[in-house]
Amino acid sequence: MSTSSKQNAKYFQVWRWHFYAGMFVAPFLIVLSLTGLGMLLTANTTGRDLDRMAVDAPANVSQTTPVASQAKAALQAVADGQLIQYIAPRDDKTVALFRVQNLDDVYMVAVNPYDAHVVKTFAADSNLYHTFDDIHSDLLLGTVGDYLQETAAALTILLILSGGYLWWQKRRSVTRMLVPTATQPTSKRQTLRLIHATLGSWVSVVLLFFCISGMAWAGIWGGKVVQSWSQFPAGKWGVAPMPMSIDPNAHDMHDMDMSSAAPHVHGAGAAPMPMPAPTHGEALNHGSSKDVPWVLELTPMPQSGTTMGTDGIKTGLPIVLDTVDKFARESGFVGRYQLSLPQGSMGVWSISQDSMSHDIKNPFADRTMHIDRYSGKVLADIRFADYNAFGKFMAAGIALHMGTLGWWSVLANVLFCLAVIAMSVLGYVMWWQRRPRDAAGTLAAPARNQPLAISKPLLAVLLIVACLFPTAIIAIVVMTLLDVILISRVPALKRLLK
């Protein structure tokens, strides 16, 4: 076989893999782009948790009612409710939010911070933003949907690599790949290909970045591989066994004033063995929402009642909502932040503010603080600088991914989503126009008369993608068996996919 023939055979092999990957991936890309646009719209209009609801601010905006009074009003709005979380107002003209749980459900209660009037009560995670988020995360299919999304993202990487190769073979210049040349296309199909490939050249790097940052949240490559490798060590903030400073079983769980906790007297009765500390994700994530920075999600929480901690709330002050809120403000938390109440006898007060939760715009200002519910000491004060390299990549990457860096990033994400939708739709249009007239009822895969063998360079790329992203293995094996074995031996498949 001549060099030219070998090059053509290689080109056709890559084209066919690009075709199969595109046929599978394009519907997912369209759904992800549409739901991404929906989340961008709702997050910047009504707010993720309807936290942008406006209130009439008085002339003196410092005259807010105590947080405890606002919490009391929120609890009165939900029968038999237990307070889980307080979310401070975004600014002087928006509501405060309280997450309240009872035996039936979890509710968000929006409260006017100036008069403690309940503005609205609604089921948590029930608004349009969370609907878009659930579809974006797992297609409303749970674990199966999560795996499908992860597989689609892995194959998108293959799609990007194969598409880049095909367009390079046509243009032979990065500039010509990015900017249409003066040579005019001679047909409608060539015009569509020019638009499709040029859009792909512009968005490919960003799309690759989105795939990697998105898969880092997914169940296998994210949860089982990179996320578990990137967590802080379990004993960093005192979750390993250590001397107890109080007897947690001697105090009422629901009493938020723990300043009068009596010291534990050794020998006066052994306390039951404490349960293993929950992870940050288990303790602080609510429903399907991701409220905890990626790098902390699998890290065990610190625990109250130990001898650990540094100076925090002044000794003698009651450790209640208002004093914790005041301490948070004095510690540098400005505007919207999240305050999660202690859950269980060894639970902690958790104060967090991050861009992923739409609290702030700057991911480099991410901060999570934990306070001992008995002593008021600061058990952990975790900032962006404490994250490891991949944790920093994810904090900044998620902010880019979600468009939380300001209006410029919202606009950039809108343009990106529209480009991905256009590129995906154009791919289907080109396929439909390229189909031979006698191809009715078939997929009419490209290069149908070319050899089906996989070249060594293509095989190497497939193996690298499969090894890096486990869910891609099954899809690549299925595609290989389909293309190399079944098509040539099963007449019905041969006709459908010829």
pLDDT of 494 reads 62
Place of tokens 């674990």: 143
Tens digit of each residue's pLDDT (9 = 90 or more) over 195-231: 999 999 999 999 999 999 999 888 888 888 888 888 8
- Any bridge partners for residue 353, and if so which? 367
CA gap 446, 2 in Å, rounded: 21
What pLDDT, on a 0 to 100 scale, did the predictor assign at position 187? 80
pLDDT of residue 378: 96
Length of the chain: 498
Residue pLDDT, tens place only, 278-302: 899 999 998 777 889 999 998 999 9
Residue 180 shares a structural domain with residue 242: no
The whole-number pLDDT of residue 432 equals 85
Among residues 126, 143, 171, the one where a domain terminates is 126
Do 181 and 310 lie in one domain? The reply is no
Whether residue 362 sits in one domain with residue 312: yes
Task: Say whether both 160 and 183 belong to one domain.
Answer: yes
Q: Do 356 and 254 share a domain, yes or no?
A: yes
Q: What percent of the chain has pLDDT over 90?
A: 59
* Whether residue 377 sits in one domain with residue 243: yes
Return the closest-CA partner of residue 260 out of 320, 339, 341: 320
Domain-located, residue 413 = yes
Identify the CA nearest to 211 among candidates 161, 259, 248: 161
d(CA 88, CA 343): 19
pLDDT for 349 equals: 97
Burial 364-384 (b: 16+ CB within 10 A, else e): ebbbbbbbbbbbbbbbbbbeb
Q: Distance (Å, rounded) from C-alpha 92 to C-alpha 110?
A: 14
Number of domains observed in the structure of the chain: 3
Same domain, 107 and 165: no
* 118 in the same domain as 157: no
pTM given for the model: 0.86
List residues bridging with 442 in a β-sheet: none
Residue 260 is predicted with a pLDDT of 39
Are 331 and 248 found together in one domain?
A: yes
Positions in the chain short of pLDDT 50: 240-272
Sheet containing 106-111, strands listed edge to edge, beginning at the edge strand earlier in sequence? 118-123, 106-111, 96-101, 82-87, 338-340, 348-353, 367-372, 378-383
The label of the residue with tokens 């928006």 reads 94
